[in-house]
Structure 1
Amino acid sequence: TGTPVDRTLHISLEGIEAMHLGWRNGVQIPGANTSIKRARGDQLQPKSITAFLLGLDNKITAFKLQRYINQYKAEPLLAIFPGVALHELWGMMGIAEKILLAISSFVVVASLIGMLAVSLAGLNERRREIAILRSVGAGYRHIVGLLVVESTLLTITGIIAGLILLYSGLAIAQPLIESNYGLHIPITWPNVRESGILSILIAAGISVGLIPAYRAYRNSLLDGMSARI
């Protein structure tokens, strides 16, 4: 089934009682003789159980039955809904996912700031190149386009490298996780939400490229005015 159930062994309550015959509190009783005849006797009937799964024909009475079991005074019983418990578990996982998404957002912002700082720092070394381009007739659009394309290519390269690392890690970890924990992690293409996030990253990379492009154009104008003077 591809679920943790594949790693379980289901036996009857009588089988569990048979395994524990002659044992008490995890220690074998000295002189205890567990014969097959005794193992098939009435002593295999369990006197108590810790948990069981109860199915209802009428699901409308589920909350009423839960309240009745929880308020039962003869025994300290507790009734829970597996679906509700799993929903709470996935809710906790959702909080962890949001925290990881926030951390990833900070990493992306730091990366964009780093790319912007490197681009601005390299403008002085590239002023001669830009001046030569301006001298051969390159206009504002050419200067801006070159720097924007550069930042866009850097962003797309980073996204592709990240996806390659992600899918490589999933391909390596998937069989290990499935064999050790019985959890199957599917390897699929990015969904609509993830594709939207990648599109936002590309747009942010383009926006970051506009800042050094504008600075480069201003520097080219100043260089041109200085040459005329």
Structure 2
Amino acid sequence: MLKLALLSIWNRRGTIFLTLLTLSISVTLLMGVEKLRHDTKQSFFNTVSGTDLIVGARSGSLPLLLYSVFGIGQPTNNIRWSSYQQIASQEAVAWTIPITLGDSHQGFKVIGTENSFYEHFKFGRQQSLSMAEGHFFDDLFDVVLGAEVARALGYQLDDAVVIAHGLGRGSFAQHQDKPFKVSGILNATGTPIDRNLFISLAAWEAIHIDWRAGTRIPGMNLDADAVKARDLTPKELTAFMVGLQSPMATFHMQRAINTYRTEPLQAILPGVALQELWQVLSIAEKSLLIVSACVIFASLTGMLGILLTSLNERRRELAILRAVGAGPLRIMVLLLSESVFLTLLASALGVGMMYLLVFSFQDWIALEYGVFLTLNGLTPEQVRLLLWIQLAGLITGLIPAIKAYYYTLIDGLTPKI
């Protein structure tokens, strides 16, 4: 029966191909949306762990989380260095990671920080950062690359890197007089860390010491050697992460920072902010799934129409099968086999197309939107969706199969006028 079903499909290959193409594209869309939903969620929740508080200028929990962790958006204001020092010196504080943002290199963001970033930052399930090559900051003009930056730009240790002023991809304001040297390359983390460059806070101050309001100060041009003799203590920060001695102190410290009198600051709990962010995104995610499911339904409806149309054209074929001994049940199984095979083939092609698209566009999506798509196997949710598609295909094929079950030998051999 399987061989007969395949031969029957091949005999109607033109019509079947169009049906298969439509259904495959629908499966690709549904699987792609589910893949995007799953990997987006994983990217969000694996980005930072082990951090008790994130502190920045008062702007709202989601904007602070987005620009400090995901590198999306820009801060409304900076934090005074004196405020950072005062909070970092509290007895309840175990460690801090200062962060300064605002510069870039060929579309990748540059983060000013300290060695505490490498020592204390954790992602995923409390995983620490590790070096694939080299070391973190030793010299003033050392730069450490995320794994994706090194791969995309082809950088190696000791290569020269010139940082651009601002976040624009085509920025003409370059810190060419103070080039950096690649001192280390981080191992891949699957988080936005992979797409960042890291320099020290002193180096950040050094490259901006002769700049004001985004432009170079006229007549002031200090080279790399000259700035080393200057005081390179930072004046401002964008944000900083806090690790506490005890989780019991989290809410007390958060309240103290939120009511800080010297300047308006905000401290957020990363886990709570991530949940809030996902709740906002889940609306769009569910909407996309509904749209994809409607596309699948439309494709299956089209397949049903084609099967019913071809059923009328195949009356003589079915009558001949009945004449050579095939019973009504066998005819029914034949039509069901064709429907199941088409759905299976469309599902396989759809999954293959989905992985091809992920492979082709994962770098671009990561660069543009900060979402890291992986080429891992199918998730349980995706397998469940494929089973539902298969069940829907079986039900779709059941309708013409039941109709064919009641065809008699005379129905197929009697000419219709």
Q: TM-score, length-normalised on structure 2?
A: 0.49
Distance 1:163 1:48, change over 3 A: closer
Distance 1:183 1:98, change over 3 A: closer
Q: Within the alignment, does 1:2 sit opposite 2:182 as a pair?
A: no
* Structure 2 counterpart of 1:139, from 327, 348, 362: 327
Q: Within the alignment, does 1:167 sit opposite 2:355 as a pair?
A: yes
Counterpart Cα distance in 1 of 2:414 and 2:366: 68
Mapping for residues 94-173 of structure 1, pairs under 5 Å: 94-173=282-361
1:216 is displaced (CA, Å) by 1.7
Counterpart Cα distance in 1 of 2:360 and 2:414: 59
**Unaligned stretches of 5+ in structure 1?**
none
- Structure 1 residues 59-86: Cα deviation after superposition (integer angstroms, max 9, x where no partner): 1111121122112233111112233223
> How many residues were matched structurally?
226
1:101 is displaced (CA, Å) by 1.5
- Which secondary structure does the structure 1 equivalent of 2:395 belong to? helix
* Structure 2 counterpart of 1:41, from 208, 230, 254: 230
Distance 1:180 1:205, change over 3 A: closer
Distance 1:30 1:215, change over 3 A: same
Q: TM-score, length-normalised on structure 1?
A: 0.84
Distance 1:211 1:181, change over 3 A: closer
- Structure 1 residues 133-170: Cα deviation after superposition (integer angstroms, max 9, x where no partner): 22233212111111111111111111111112112222
More helix by share: 1
More strand by share: 2
Amino acid at match of 1:158: A
Mapping for residues 86-97 of structure 1, pairs under 5 Å: 86-97=274-285
Amino acid at match of 2:256: Y
* Structure 1 counterpart of 2:397, from 206, 209, 213: 209
Q: Within the alignment, does 1:198 sit opposite 2:401 as a pair?
A: no
**Conserved? CA contact 1:2–1:182, under 8 Å:** no
Distance 1:94 1:2, change over 3 A: farther
Counterpart Cα distance in 1 of 2:399 and 2:352: 29
Counterpart Cα distance in 1 of 2:323 and 2:194: 72
Q: Within the alignment, does 1:75 sit opposite 2:263 as a pair?
A: yes
Counterpart Cα distance in 1 of 2:369 and 2:236: 30
Distance 1:105 1:222, change over 3 A: farther
- Which secondary structure does the structure 2 equivalent of 1:123 belong to? helix
- Which secondary structure does the structure 2 equivalent of 1:122 belong to? helix
- Structure 1 residues 171-206: Cα deviation after superposition (integer angstroms, max 9, x where no partner): 323455568888653212223322222122112211
Please say which structure displays the higher CA radius of gyration.
1
Counterpart Cα distance in 1 of 2:227 and 2:411: 102
Q: Within the alignment, does 1:31 sit opposite 2:219 as a pair?
A: yes
Distance 1:47 1:133, change over 3 A: closer
Amino acid at match of 2:404: A
Q: Percent of pairs identical after alignment?
A: 45
Q: Within the alignment, does 1:61 sit opposite 2:254 as a pair?
A: no
RMSD: 2.8
Amino acid at match of 1:47: K
1:95 is displaced (CA, Å) by 3.1
- Which secondary structure does the structure 2 equivalent of 1:79 belong to? strand
Counterpart Cα distance in 1 of 2:255 and 2:413: 85
Distance 1:23 1:196, change over 3 A: closer
1:98 is displaced (CA, Å) by 1.9
